Structures are given as structure tokens and as C-alpha cells.
A and B are shown apart, each in its own frame.
Chain A
Amino acid sequence: MFGYYVELAVRSLRRNPVLTGLMVLAIAVGIGTSMTTLTVMHLLSGDPLPGRSEHLHYVQVTPYPQDATPTHPSEVMDYRSAMDLWKAKRADQQALLVGSTIKVHVPASTSPPLLLSMLSTHADFFTMFAAPFEYGGAWTAEDDEKHARVAVISSDLNHRLFRGENSIGKIIRLRDSDVRIVGVLKPWRPSPLFYDVYGGRMAHGDTADFYGKVEDVMTPFQSGLEINDGNFVQFTCWQLPPSPGHLQDAPCLWVRLWVRLQDDAKVAAYRRFVADYAAQQKAQGRFRHDLTAVPSLMEWMTSNRVVPGDVRLQVWLAFAFLAICLCNTVGLLLAKFLRRGADFSVRRALGATRGAVVMQCLVETGVIGIAGGLLGWLFTLAGLWLVRQQPVPYADMVRLDASMFMTTFVLAVTTSLLAGALPAIRAGRVAPALHLKTL
């Protein structure tokens, strides 16, 4: 019976190619726009470290000396608080993070120096965040202690400097210091670059930069501070720092702390530890406020509103668009089925049940839905291609993955069946006698 309905549907659709074309086009345009935006949204709002993110936490204290009560704990830490909390080693793993830009070149090469982004952090960073290695590996905790002149470089930089060959043991010059490469990362593109996310509340929705690429050079925390001293940039200061770019003893916020806490009890204990630290600092007069927070990775992403405002707006627009296309299709289907009242009457008179007529209509709309889905899928690919041409940092990541590909068809068939339901029920309600008389 189903095969017969499909045959009937195709025949009926071919009888009226313009109207069919309009319906397919309406669904396809609606699906194309909403799937394009949904794919981008899915890509930007997903969990950057599935399975691990719930154990990773960002640490916030509020070292401001001002009286005015802040509404949120500080986004970043001052050096002293960060070192105190890190040295206490109360978490399963922990790493301080500081970013800067640095001049890099390869000794004995003639190519001009590059100005690259550098991340100074601790050995735990790589295991905590599951950074994948192509060659070599992370430096050790001992390297952290010794302020060793070692570095891990990105896959990108390895291709630029060493044509992608195994460069372990090679020397690169960071500013004036020679540093030995101990590890080369595989291509790694967390979305967003979660460990560098902060300040999103003040970004006015312009958060596309959170989807940038990983730093090209990573060094042990103290080694980085020594090599690039004088070139650090503060997140904010409550007084002008005494010497620019050197921030260890400055009244500035510039260091971030990430910790791994394996279970809920540890999270609770760590929260208590941070709160106690802030209370103690307040008692000593160094802090004015004991506002603290230890959000999990995804909580931190949410409170930073990582998905850019433009992307969220586009999703809303696309779904409004889909709704309009849906109205359109319902209207056209209604017109189509009501016009065929005579056909349905004959079928009913020959013994078909109402359900059979409804079924036939639904199969027909399903066929339209599949056709619309196929075309909509092409529109989605075109839409994603357009997004890739845009000047946004996440442009290179925009692809249709298997799950979104499936979603496209499910959405197309569901929307078309939804659109078809009302007209189909109406078609099932035709009074056969009335129509047969007019034939």
C-alpha cells in the first residue's frame, strides 16, 4: 500500500510542477537557512572537551582593593593570588596561564623573525586539556621547577619553520633566549579555545575571537615570564604598573588558573579552600572583598557568553524564516489537497477509509519533504560555504558533520509532515457525496 501511495504522490506532484516546485523550494530555503545557522551554532556552543570538561574548573578571586562592591568575581587573577593558590597544590592537576606575543626565529636560518603568540603554563596543562602530540611530549614538572628553556610548538609553526618534520631537540630563539623544542602538537583546534576565554561579559556580544587558534609557542610558566619580561599585557590594573610589561609585583590582573578536580567532593573542598584563602586575604587587608567562584569549564563558557551575538541572532532569524516557509507550505498544501476533493471522494466512495486518505496525503507531503530536504541540504552546503568566506576566526572550522547531516533530513521530513498534517486531516474530512454529485 505504501508503495502505491508513493507512486500516487509522485504522479500527483508531477501533474502540478509549478506548485510542487514552490513547496519544495519553500522547504529547501527554510531548511537551508536554519541548518546553516544551526550548524554554526552547534559548532560554536558544543563542549570543547567532551568527557573531561566537567572535571575542569576555572578559579576566580577578587583582589580589587576598592570599596565599591563588584557584581562578579574578577575574571583574571593578580600574580600573588595566582601563585599562592597554585603552590598550595590542592587540586588533582593545576596550571597557571599567561599569554603574550614574542619575537621568534630559528638561529642559522635566513628567514625574517616572526611575532607569535606564546602561552606560558605548567606541565599539567597538556594532560589536563588532552593536548595531542605529533612528536615528543610535554615538559616535566621538574622543568617547571628549574625554569628550563624548553618549548612545545604548534603543528602550524612546525610546518612554517621545519616543513612539518620531527623538530624535537631543535633550537628556536624566543626573543634573546635559545629554547629547545621538546614537543610538537598535532593540529589542535578546540572550539572555542576554552582555556583562553575570559572577559566575555564585557565583549558586547563580539566574542568571535574566542574561536582563534592555539598559541604557536608554549613554555614553562616561569621560563616564559623571564624570557619575555617587559612584554606582558594586563587584563586590567587598579593603578598604573610601576614598570610597563613587568607585572609580577604590579597591581594588575593578568594570570589565569585552571584546575582539574576529579569528583564532587574535591570540587566542594576546593571551593572551600578558595573561599578560605579570600577570607584570609581580606582579614589581612590585601583584599576588600571575599567574592570567589570556581566554575566548571562549561559554566565558565556560559557566563562568558562564548557564542557570538551575531551567530545567536542568525539562528533566531533563520528559524523565523523557517516558520514563514512552513506557513507558506501549509497554505499551498491546503490549496492542493482541497482542489483534489473530487479524487479523494472517488477513493472514499470506493471504500477507502478517512485514515487511508490522510495517509495518502501524508506520504505526498513526505515526498515533498524529502525533495525539500535534499535541496535544503545543497542550500546548507552553499550557506556553509558562504560562512567560510566570512572574515571570522571560526570560518575555517565550519563543516557539516554526520550528525548535522542527519538532522537536516529529520528536520526537513518533520517540518514537511507537520506542514502536511493539517491539510491532510482537512482532506480526509471531505464529504464524498457532495463532491461526487458535482463530478
Chain B
Amino acid sequence: MRTHPIFAALRHHRLATTLIVLQIALACAVMCNACSLIAARWQAMQLVTGIDEASLGTLYLSGFEPGRANDLNARMVAGLRAIPGVTAVNVVNTVPFSHGAGTVGVTLDAAGQREGGVVDVYLGTPGTLEALGIRIVEGRAPGAEDYRPVGDFFPSQANVLITRAAADHMWPGVSPLGKEIFVDKNHFRVIGVMEHLSIARPGSMGPEETDWSVFAPSLAGPTLAGTYVIRAKPGDLPAVMHKAREAVTALAPDAVLIRENSDSLPALRAAHFANDRAMMSLLVGIIVTLLLVTALGIVGLASFWVQRRRKQIGIRRAIGASRRDIVQYFQLENFFIVSMGIGAGVLLAYAASLTLMHFYEVPLLPPWYLAVGGATLWILGQLAVLGPALRAAAVPPVVATRAG
């Protein structure tokens, strides 16, 4: 088909064409960037914590007197272990998605000059690593002799495990086994590398730092008390956690259960990402409405053009154009308009993406988003124009002979 008449006609309707091109360009830019924002949140939500979340729950108690901490731990651990379905109970300082604890800047030398980064130090009693289901990929698991009493914050000397990500950051390209970390006067030696263990409040640090954690084997005591990790079969977990929360009133009347931090890990994960999920559904809603509005705009304008050109269509039909030719004409016209819109949209999308990069720590729009966005708009345009085009094709040639 010859394209010349299409361009000639479009030049005739410059204003209307410009408007629809502008609308498509804006739609393209918003859609592509909204998709990349959705992808960024989705990726954040896929966070690997490194622990066996489906089998784990946690309780966080506060408000008790430190002097009674050993007694509280003994009561809680014994009481929780007695709940049917519970396979392990350990005292920890925190677990992922619960309250923040133990976030410190570490150094790689005793003088405190070489900074190692800000990490979460997890503390846990014997059996914690097994209960959490953490995979050790290098070195060894702590033995009974590695568990040390906790001083004011951390064990003063400890053999610790570190995540792969943190180790690679602190000692790039070398095995971290035997290396030393200092937290003020406390001194840690690395004996093993964990595949993953995310920080307690993912999102509070930049994306690279979400897996910077250290596990220090510890013994329960005045400064390691009140937070418990409970393991049960995934199927039993909801019932177990319900019973565990109810049991606190009887087991520890001197403490206060912090309910929003005491639940199964799947529930805590869902709560942690609730905001991101809400934002994602909002963005999806925006994209869908946007496509709908754009499609309706195309239908409206195309219908108008068809109506205006009834006579011309009749003439073309009368001089031998088939119905298919007419439909194709409108489809091709729409294709050109949408293409111009996408062309302008690419520029707008990148401008928007650069702005977003500046404010929201999202990567620059990958080109294939634009490819998908463009394809979507092309298909949408063709679908939207189909109705009016078919109506145009239905114009009988006899219209041409009528006056008017």
C-alpha cells in the first residue's frame, strides 16, 4: 500500500495528530517508568533472608528487668518447648523482619582505622544456626566451645560466621577464614561463611548492604534475653505461634509481648513489605487506567476521522478499493501515529528515568522495557482503531454518489 496519502492526510490534521502523539508519548514514558519501579519493588520483595522462613516464628518480649533475664529465659524456653509441634526454641537478639538489633560499624584492625562497613550482628544460643536453617558454604559451624557469654552488647571475644556478601566486601578476593573483625574493644575471628543472612530490617540500608550480617555464637544472659525463635513444621506453624503468643501471659507476666514483632516469619515478611505491595498495586492500577484512557482516546478520534471521511471512503470504494484496503489504511495510519508517539516517548521516558534515578535509587530504564512498552502501545493502537476501521470499511460505495 502506498503511504503517501496517509502522510498527506495526517498533515491536514496536524493538531489532532500532535495531540494523540503527545498522549501516546506521555503514556509510553509513564508506563515504562512505572514498570521499572514495579520491577524494583518486586526485586526488593524477593529478598533472600538465608533462613528457613516457612518453619520459623519469633516472640519479642520487653519491659522485664535485666536482673531477672536468666529466669525469664529459662521460663520462656521451657514453656515454649512444651508446646506441641515445637521442634526448637532458641534465644536470639533478633531475626529478619523483626525489630532491629546489633547494627554496628565494624573495623578490620584493632586501632579502628580500616572500616569494614555497617553490619548486623546476630546473637544466638547453641543450635540457633540449625534452627534457622542457615547454610554454611565455607569453614565450619560453631562447636559447643564457641558459644560465649554476651557482655554489654556482644561477646568480647568470639568465633563468628559472616555472610558471603559481607566477606566479599571486607576482604575481596581472599578467603575470610581466620580474618579478624573489631567492634570497638570486642574482637571477632571468622570461622565460617554463611551463604545468606539478611539484616534484620531490610530496606534500612542500601540494596548492596542488605546481606551484610555476622553471626556470633552466644550464651543467653542479661543482654541476650526476651527474643525467641521457634521452629515448627510449616503446617503447624500458625497454630504453634498462636499458642506461643497466648502462653506468654502465663509464662512471663513480668514482661510485655511486642505483638507487631511476634509472629511467624511469613507473616512478618508480609507485614514488612505491605507498603511495597500497596505501591505496586497502585502502579499497576495506574498502568491499566492509562492504557484504557489512551485506547478510548484513539477510538474517539478514529471514529471522528472515519465520520469526516465518509465521502472520501465512498469514493475510494467506488473506484475499486476493497474493504480490506480501507481497514488497512486506518491501521497503517494508526501505526504511524503510534510510532511517532513512541519515538517521542522514548526521549521522555529516559528523561523521566534519569530524574527518578536521581531521587529513588532505581537503575536507568533498561532498553527492553521500552521495546515491550512500545509493542504494547502498538497492539493497543491496532485494537483500538479496529472498530472504527471496520465501520469505515462498511461504508457503501454509493455514498460517493450522494450529494453532500
Decide yes or no: A327 and B275 within 8 Å by CB, A103-B256, A313-B37, A321-B30 being known contacts: no
Q: Which residues of B contact A339 (CB under 8 A)?
A: 304, 307-308
Decide yes or no: A115 and B289 within 8 Å by CB, A331-B23, A391-B275 being known contacts: no
- In the complex, what residue of chain A is closest to B258 when comparing beta carbons? A115
Q: Which residues of B contact A26 (CB under 8 A)?
A: 293, 296-297
In the bound complex, do residue B301 and residue A331 qualify as a contact, i.e. CB atoms below 8 Å apart?
A: yes
In the bound complex, do residue B249 and residue A112 qualify as a contact, i.e. CB atoms below 8 Å apart?
A: yes
- In the complex, what residue of chain B is closest to A21 when comparing beta carbons? B296
- In the complex, what residue of chain A is closest to B297 when comparing beta carbons? A328
**B294 contacts chain A at the CB level, 8 A cutoff:** yes
Q: Which residues of A contact B356 (CB under 8 A)?
A: 313
**A161 contacts chain B at the CB level, 8 A cutoff:** no
Interface residues of B in 215-270 (CB under 8 A from A): 223, 249, 253, 256, 258
Q: Tell me the count of chain B residues lying within 8 A, CB to CB, of chain A.
A: 56
**A310 contacts chain B at the CB level, 8 A cutoff:** yes
- The one of B63, B223, B360 in contact with A115, judged by C-beta atoms closer than 8 angstroms, is B63
Q: Which residues of B contact A390 (CB under 8 A)?
A: 275, 278
Q: How far is the CB of A348 from chain B (nearest CB, A)?
A: 20
- In the complex, what residue of chain B is closest to A206 when comparing beta carbons? B203
Q: Which residues of A contact B256 (CB under 8 A)?
A: 103, 112-115
Bound Cα distance from A114 to B297, whole angstroms: 57
Decide yes or no: A22 and B296 within 8 Å by CB, A115-B62, A208-B275 being known contacts: yes
In the bound complex, do residue A325 and residue B300 qualify as a contact, i.e. CB atoms below 8 Å apart?
A: no
Interface residues of B in 139-172 (CB under 8 A from A): 152-153
Interface of A: prevailing SS:
helix
Q: How far is the CB of B404 from chain A (nearest CB, A)?
A: 7
Q: How far is the CB of A130 from chain B (nearest CB, A)?
A: 31
Contacts between chains A and B (CB distance < 8 A), count: 130
Bound Cα distance from A186 to B293, whole angstroms: 47
Bound Cα distance from A376 to B104, whole angstroms: 50
**A332 contacts chain B at the CB level, 8 A cutoff:** yes
Decide yes or no: A330 and B293 within 8 Å by CB, A204-B203, A244-B152, A244-B153 being known contacts: no
- In the complex, what residue of chain B is closest to A438 when comparing beta carbons? B404
Bound Cα distance from A241 to B151, whole angstroms: 12
- The one of B30, B185, B186, B307 in contact with A317, judged by C-beta atoms closer than 8 angstroms, is B30
Most chain B Cβ neighbours within 10 Å, of A25, A330, A426: A330
1/0 per residue, CB under 8 A from A, across B180-196: the answer is 00011110000000000
- In the complex, what residue of chain B is closest to A68 when comparing beta carbons? B115
Interface residues of A in 289-318 (CB under 8 A from B): 309-310, 312-314, 317
In the bound complex, do residue A335 and residue B300 qualify as a contact, i.e. CB atoms below 8 Å apart?
A: yes
Q: How far is the CB of A398 from chain B (nearest CB, A)?
A: 13
- The one of B29, B282, B293, B307 in contact with A328, judged by C-beta atoms closer than 8 angstroms, is B293
Interface pairs A-B: 3 shortest CB-CB:
A335-B304, A103-B63, A327-B23
Please list 24 pairs of residues, one from A and one from B, whose beta carbons are closer than 8 Å in the complex, sorted by A's number.
Answer: A22-B296, A25-B296, A115-B63, A175-B63, A240-B104, A240-B183, A240-B186, A242-B152, A243-B152, A313-B37, A321-B286, A327-B20, A327-B23, A327-B26, A330-B19, A331-B19, A335-B303, A335-B304, A335-B305, A338-B304, A390-B275, A390-B278, A392-B275, A422-B15
